[in-house]
Structure 1
Amino acid sequence: MSDDSEETERTKRLVAAWRGAERKLSRSLLEPTVGELLGSLAEAPYDMDGPADVYGDGVVTALERKVADLLGTEDAAFFPTGTMAQQIALRCWAGRTGNPVVALHPMSHPERWEGEALTAVSGLRVAHPTTEARPPSAADVEALREPFGTLMVELPLRDAGFLLPTWEELEALTDAARERDAVVHFDGARLWESTVHFGRTLPEIAGLADSVYVSFYKSLGGLSGAALAGPREFVEETRVWRHRYGGQVFRQFPQALSALAGLDRELPRLPSYVAQARMVAGALRPAFADSGVPWARINPEEPHTHQFQVWLPYEADRLTEAGLRQAEETGTVLFRRWSADGPPGLAVTELEITQPGLSWTESDVHEAVSAFVARI
């Protein structure tokens, strides 16, 4: 059997175990069936006898108005993908500033997960204020030698551990960019849950930037899709480029309905998810120690959002298999997939706490860790 075939079979086994488990901290995006996803569309707060959409009107327009209201911006535009949305936003700002250089972290999404699309597709160049696994600081921006037209800030910085700066650091960072005559764009794929850490409202957070991108599936559980929000004239320009990039899809009402449902159902719950994530993170440390694990790291020690990293000194495949066996044999999902994306001998996974995990107690975490370690 080829490596690809083995991985496909393992994925099927993982998803089956996750679906069959009675206890879990969250539900994987791979778990829902077609029927379940279609059924969830009926939960959207939208008149089902109303218009669908034709090239972005109807329910898509309703979603755009909702996002603009939530973020406190003049306008918002729906995009089929966040990759397209951000490329277009950065391209438009480059045209307006006359500078094609984008200052961003090397661990940010465009640098790690988009195949160098900013350069290959949009003709932009990048500069890195810092290479450290933390959000960039005002001092980093001030010290950047090359002039840049746009500062892109990923909130939170997912690959570094879903990290956020403090509110004061974020204010100083945006001020530093404007002192360099640059505009500020927030990669807010997971911006929705950052209000707890910042202690600020969504309009206050979005108000620090010239434009903001938000995702509809990463925290809200939508089918797919994203939005760009900002000044009306700027958003109108991005709509022109959306058509040029092939994003003017004839009908997108399923994505728009699922986004509205997520905003209605998940957005109010996110603060409770963050609080529960902090409880789980705090319980994991003594649970690993009591189970005889020689070393473990929770990153960050107190999660900034409802997602965080766990590092252990074992092979990634071994840990993934242990988690799979735990799900199959006990009906409990603690960890899902592990990655070797780090120093040799260490593996990392991401934990996300959502509605299924709200009932967990510290005792539940200790019990699940003990069962997991026993299967390593």
Structure 2
Amino acid sequence: MELSKKLREAYKACAHQVPGNGPRNIGVLKQAFAEIDAGLESDTYGKGPVIEDFENKMAGVLGKEKAVFFPSGTMAQQIAMRIWCDELSLHKVAYHPLCHLEIHEEDGLKKLHRIESVLLADKNRLITLADVQELGSDVACLLLELPQREIGGELPEFDELVAISDYCREEGIKLHMDGARLFEVLPYYQKTAAEVCQLFDSVYISLYKGVGGIAGAILAGSEPFAKEAFIWKRRHGGDLISLYPYILSADYSFEKRRDRFPAYLNGARELAAMYNGCHGVRTRPLVPVSNMFHVHFPLPKEKIEPVFLAVVEETGVGLTAVVYAVDEESSYFEISIGDNYGTIPKEKLQQAFSLLDEKMEVTLR
């Protein structure tokens, strides 16, 4: 059997999976629906109490006038860019070279909306105020991702965000937040979601990442922005006849986890310290600023996969299901801390990391 597949299957079958909130199976939906009145009416094409009440609730959490539920973040963010470009009659936006719109959406922004992208900063670092100032006012919108996932979940300091926000408003540039992991960064900033979102003209949040719902997203902003977003969602076919399974699971999961994000950050920092204590292993960031980080190795994935396969087979602790190649000489994987981490006995973690350290020391020789 292929080594990568063996690692995935061993991880799936192990007793203790370190990252995540648990299995994504039908049981998640059954839990969300367990206490729902069976007579509750579903939403219909984006209307009805089920969807409208949830949208209003999330608008309040984010400190925005209105919010619109979307089946996907990809749809929501492309639409946000289109709204701002149309408003300013300027079909050009700026974002990080490793932005989701640039590398994961098959050029959807360009092909569907004819919007040109300007890539800011080197791909290995965060966008800074200096980068934004070099733009002038030649773009309709600047998109900032909090945290910047593809470089390990790094995050600008809050003062830097304030400075970028002030500059964009002075220059008439709309500022949009890719807040797929917004709730995960709030413990680091020591701010509420509304306090962070007030710096932005529009905000997207994911409802299935740290929140742990089945799928879905929220796009929030002013009343006029939300009205346009609703129309564009209809144009994109995003108004399914009913979206209530996603909405009810998102609401259930949000209430279940909204107070757990500080614990997730503490868990990520504890786990990163254990990784950094092993031979040849380094995390990015060295000290996590959210519940996610990357784990890097100075060896190709073909030499790292057997190490993690041995750890899971010998200890029952699954540290990762997959290892990615950076190049022919290095590799990495991403980890996000959720509910699972707090359920693993500390002695089992210590056993797993002791074995990881031993295996890495031997592998590096």
Q: TM-score, normalised by structure 1?
A: 0.89
Structure 1 residue 112, shift from structure 2 partner: 1.1
Structure 1 residue 65, shift from structure 2 partner: 1.5
| Matching residue within 304, 317, 330 for 2:315 | 330
The answer for the alignment partner of 2:45 in structure 1 is 55
| Matching residue within 324, 337, 345 for 1:353 | 337
Q: Please report the RMSD computed on the Cα atoms of aligned residues, expressed in angstroms.
A: 2.2
Letter in 2 for 1:33: N
The answer for the alignment partner of 1:136 in structure 2 is 127
* Preserved contact between residue 81 and residue 225 of structure 1 (Cα < 8 Å): yes
Match status 1:188 vs 2:179:
yes
- For 1:180 and 1:324, how far apart are their aligned partners in 2? 53
Structure 1 residue 194, shift from structure 2 partner: 1.2
The answer for the alignment partner of 2:196 in structure 1 is 205
- For 1:41 and 1:361, how far apart are their aligned partners in 2? 27
* Preserved contact between residue 70 and residue 219 of structure 2 (Cα < 8 Å): yes
The answer for the alignment partner of 1:3 in structure 2 is none
The answer for the alignment partner of 2:140 in structure 1 is 149
**Fraction of identical pairs, as percent:** 31
Matches within 5 A, 1:296-307: 296-307=281-292
- For 1:361 and 1:177, how far apart are their aligned partners in 2? 48
Matches within 5 A, 1:16-95: 16-27=9-20, 31-34=23-26, 36-42=27-33, 47-56=37-46, 57-95=48-86
The answer for the alignment partner of 1:283 in structure 2 is 274
* Preserved contact between residue 165 and residue 199 of structure 2 (Cα < 8 Å): yes
- How many residue pairs end up in the alignment? 359
The answer for the alignment partner of 2:153 in structure 1 is 162
Q: Deviations over 1:321-343 (max 9, x none)?
A: 43234323421111221111x34
- For 1:72 and 1:369, how far apart are their aligned partners in 2? 42
Q: Deviations over 1:214-269 (max 9, x none)?
A: 00111111111101001011101111010111111111111111100111112211
- For 1:343 and 1:265, how far apart are their aligned partners in 2? 40
The answer for the alignment partner of 1:219 in structure 2 is 210
Match status 1:124 vs 2:115:
yes
Q: Deviations over 1:126-148 (max 9, x none)?
A: 11221242221111110126711
Extract unaligned runs of 5+ from structure 2.
none
Cα 1:312/1:28, change in 2 over 3 Å: farther
Q: Deviations over 1:187-209 (max 9, x none)?
A: 00011111111111100001100
Secondary structure class of the residue paired with 1:227: strand
- For 2:155 and 2:39, how far apart are their aligned partners in 1? 42
Structure 1 residue 308, shift from structure 2 partner: 0.4
Q: Deviations over 1:91-123 (max 9, x none)?
A: 000011111111100111101111111111111
Structure 1 residue 185, shift from structure 2 partner: 0.4
- For 1:207 and 1:104, how far apart are their aligned partners in 2? 19
The answer for the alignment partner of 2:166 in structure 1 is 175
State which drifts further: 295-304 or 312-321: 312-321
Secondary structure class of the residue paired with 1:121: helix
Secondary structure class of the residue paired with 1:103: strand
Extract unaligned runs of 5+ from structure 1.
1-5
Q: TM-score, normalised by structure 2?
A: 0.91
Cα 1:321/1:246, change in 2 over 3 Å: farther
Letter in 1 for 2:338: T
**Structure with more relative contact order (C-alpha pairs < 8 Å, separation 6 or more):** 2
Match status 1:102 vs 2:93:
yes
Cα 1:252/1:107, change in 2 over 3 Å: same
The answer for the alignment partner of 2:353 in structure 1 is 369
State which drifts further: 250-259 or 145-154: 145-154
Q: Deviations over 1:257-295 (max 9, x none)?
A: 110011111221111101111111122222x0xxxx3x3
- For 1:343 and 1:16, how far apart are their aligned partners in 2? 25
State which drifts further: 56-65 or 186-195: 56-65
Secondary structure class of the residue paired with 1:214: strand
- For 2:303 and 2:25, how far apart are their aligned partners in 1? 28
